[in-house]
Structure 1
């Protein structure tokens, strides 16, 4: 136990040290895909290497080198391992390289691949590593990793922070994913899927905010199953606009399973819109909420109605044992249930270019205080591009994967350098294409240090 605590402390300090160095390397997963000739299969989820230098002006980047490995190069049994890729003579202080190393959908380390198995706290590396060398010496190292217990791991550093001041990584249209390998048919449905991993895997990686849009379908195949309260649970689906994608029951099970094994993590479920089957049908809201209450009873954190501020601290939440926040996008329904949080404000730019999105976010994030809903201390930056209807019809933007690819890697640097201090929730498409989970962890430690200094 003591050894685990020491390793965790060392890991936190290493994270902070790396954040303060003048060079950093990190790995992400591309949202793009490539066709395979004469096959329905495609190549997707390829590893990307990212680097950034903020060094003195006389630093020579040509002396730097990045090596990419598909196993831990520092492990004793891997001493003779050779890199899969070597990048040399890096000429620019910031850049990325998309490799042809396919990550796919590998088993999750630390026991987190099974939802009812032994699960180890702390961060765990998948078998993808990048090391930055300068003048032949190792300068920075990173791996593709999961942070399934990051909130509670950092409890001594961030426990005093209110939930409304934390930087919380999230996903946009969290339930719009496909199980298993991507096919050519899936890839050509360019404007439906927004994520490459199911909700369980999102949570294990470190996502703590889920953006959910629900549709109700009175008569669909396999839609007659009843839950314990007599509700037709299979009639509720997670939608992308008016298109149903994933059974809601699948999402709820993943959230419940995760809360049961990650006993210190706090999750926000934002039921933000109800695009199909709810208009003028309040009883369908009640059916949905009956399902939610039955599934999560004992875990739902009630809001403090009428109290302005940034909400409870993580320490307050842990002391009470209620770790699920359910925000609900229908004001009339919220008034009927004291355990629902009011609609959560989403800062949505509706932008089609990276320049337009970043200009919008610059203004909104820095002016965030006036954007908050006084009844809900939480608010979310939706950091993704939005296609116009004509884009979808004529495929002008190339699809959501290409749009995410154009924005994700830039988000990592912008939030790390400029936007972290004022950000609460940040949600993205194809979240493995950025490093915002790592940025959120480091930013929350910095926020905590600022708060303690003020005291």
Structure 2
């Protein structure tokens, strides 16, 4: 049983070691879509190839990148699906027409259940850097559902407020089922293309939730008041309801049950419908959260120097769910709710404007953090204004995410990782921030140990 786990873990370590020799290549998934001439279907979830080279003189630069449907290092006869001639282009990106779709999750991590194996697991596609037909390095499109606990020896001493934690913005605003033209034309509604279970399995650990409460949506087919109340809560994008809240709660609870060392941050950040001036709505929501999560909830803890508890402290407590609550009056009523979390939100419409805001915020020049909550999040997505939505100048949230995501990886990899706590994005598969977060936390751990 342990051999595949050890192999995958060593494979990931080997990729890291090879990366130091000549840069790296990695795969992402485009947020864009293309129409099909006939019917209601569209083409989406197309594979993207990314590379960032830093080769020593004695190695020389790669000449090609090849994309495969299996590991070329262990299947010498497999033919590539795609070959790119990069010719010393130091950093680059290429959107392919290879459709990823919604693949089954390796290691038993499909939502249908089964034996879930820890460690990183490759999905179907691999990319490899070549020079003169010799592989220099390779990587796969992968999930890492247990990265926190897998790296417990390195990360255990780090306070939660110093970790770099990958997250999603408006986490519950995804389409249900395959993308269709109807979904695609909801240009300013959907922010993700994977459900919350899949987000968590990939490695996301921060969920940004906006909740609406609908008094008139009682389930007329049941006389169970408890069920009726649950059915009235929805995850919203602003004032539009998208996903039943109970769907999100079940995904989080099921994940915590099987990924027994992972820590999840659930941020109920805004309450756009049915809460204004109605404290009873908050009490109903809090009652549901306590009933569903109970002994998993970690009480607020500012930890040493206000940076929050360490991962070791959290694991020793046996409670691995942090619930931040955006209404401070309600948060004050319950000792297990964390105070509202600061979200660094730029409200920017251009890539240049948002990157300038993020640089000023992350490097500390304009950071405003809640002293009561050691956690804070950078919201790394563009924000449309009403005129954008009216005239479709920006093309929609998918296009806006595409213009951001391909640049985020390099910026966080090079500098921003040092000061970043949580970073949340739209269409998270379009960037490589889960991997950047994991590697950044290893570097932070090494720095902390050196200082000790």
- Confirm or deny: 8 A CA contact 1:272 1:328 kept in the other structure: yes
Once the 2 structures are TM-superposed, how far is the Cα of residue 140 of structure 1 from its aligned partner?
A: 1.2
- Confirm or deny: 8 A CA contact 1:129 1:143 kept in the other structure: yes
Q: How far, CA to CA, are the matches of 1:250 and 1:278 in structure 2?
A: 20
Provide closer, same or farther for how the CA distance between residues 418 and 19 of structure 1 changes in structure 2, counting only shifts above 3 A. farther
Provide closer, same or farther for how the CA distance between residues 40 and 370 of structure 1 changes in structure 2, counting only shifts above 3 A. closer
Please say if 1:113 is aligned against 2:72.
no
Q: How does 1:81-100 map to 2 (within 5 A)?
A: 81-100=78-97
Most deviating of 18-27 and 190-199: 18-27
Q: How far, CA to CA, are the matches of 1:108 and 1:310 in structure 2?
A: 34
Counterpart residue number, 2:307 = 310
Once the 2 structures are TM-superposed, how far is the Cα of residue 6 of structure 1 from its aligned partner?
A: 4.7
| Residue in structure 2 matching 1:240, options 233, 237, 242 | 237
Counterpart residue number, 1:30 = 30
Q: Report the count of equivalent residues.
A: 452
Most deviating of 108-117 and 376-385: 108-117
Q: How far, CA to CA, are the matches of 2:394 and 2:433 in structure 1?
A: 24
Counterpart residue number, 2:332 = 335
Please say if 1:64 is aligned against 2:63.
yes
| Residue in structure 2 matching 1:414, options 411, 436, 450 | 411
Once the 2 structures are TM-superposed, how far is the Cα of residue 176 of structure 1 from its aligned partner?
A: 0.1
1:408-441, CA deviations, whole angstroms, 9 ceiling, x for partnerless residues? 0110111011100100000000000001000000
Runs of 4+ in 1 over 3 A off after TM superposition: 1-9, 55-61, 221-231, 305-308
1:232-291, CA deviations, whole angstroms, 9 ceiling, x for partnerless residues? 101000000000000000000000000000000000000000000100000110000000
Counterpart residue number, 1:178 = 175
What are the ranges of 5 or more consecutive residues in structure 1 without an aligned counterpart? none
1:50-78, CA deviations, whole angstroms, 9 ceiling, x for partnerless residues? 011123589864x5110101223233xx4
Once the 2 structures are TM-superposed, how far is the Cα of residue 91 of structure 1 from its aligned partner?
A: 4.4
Q: Give the secondary structure class of the aligned counterpart of 1:298.
A: helix
Q: How far, CA to CA, are the matches of 2:210 and 2:234 in structure 1?
A: 8
> TM-score when scaled to structure 1?
0.95
Q: How far, CA to CA, are the matches of 2:420 and 2:259 in structure 1?
A: 25
Q: Give the secondary structure class of the aligned counterpart of 1:86.
A: strand
Most deviating of 199-208 and 367-376: 367-376
| Residue in structure 2 matching 1:439, options 412, 436, 440 | 436
1:167-193, CA deviations, whole angstroms, 9 ceiling, x for partnerless residues? 000000000001211001110110000
Please say if 1:40 is aligned against 2:37.
no
Once the 2 structures are TM-superposed, how far is the Cα of residue 124 of structure 1 from its aligned partner?
A: 0.5
Once the 2 structures are TM-superposed, how far is the Cα of residue 333 of structure 1 from its aligned partner?
A: 0.4
| Residue in structure 2 matching 1:323, options 315, 320, 323 | 320
| Residue in structure 2 matching 1:395, options 392, 397, 416 | 392
Please say if 1:21 is aligned against 2:21.
yes
Once the 2 structures are TM-superposed, how far is the Cα of residue 295 of structure 1 from its aligned partner?
A: 0.1
Q: How far, CA to CA, are the matches of 1:290 and 1:317 in structure 2?
A: 23
| Residue in structure 1 matching 2:190, options 183, 190, 193 | 193
- Confirm or deny: 8 A CA contact 1:24 1:52 kept in the other structure: yes
1:194-235, CA deviations, whole angstroms, 9 ceiling, x for partnerless residues? 000000000000000000000011113747757785761010
Q: How far, CA to CA, are the matches of 1:121 and 1:226 in structure 2?
A: 42
- Confirm or deny: 8 A CA contact 1:223 1:232 kept in the other structure: no
| Backbone CA RMSD of aligned residues | 2.1
Most deviating of 20-29 and 205-214: 20-29
> TM-score when scaled to structure 2?
0.95
| Residue in structure 1 matching 2:134, options 137, 161, 178 | 137
Once the 2 structures are TM-superposed, how far is the Cα of residue 4 of structure 1 from its aligned partner?
A: 6.0
Q: How far, CA to CA, are the matches of 1:227 and 1:23 in structure 2?
A: 59
Q: How far, CA to CA, are the matches of 1:368 and 1:126 in structure 2?
A: 40
Counterpart residue number, 2:156 = 159
Q: Give the secondary structure class of the aligned counterpart of 1:100.
A: strand
- Confirm or deny: 8 A CA contact 2:111 2:197 kept in the other structure: no
1:32-62, CA deviations, whole angstroms, 9 ceiling, x for partnerless residues? 000000211000000000011123589864x
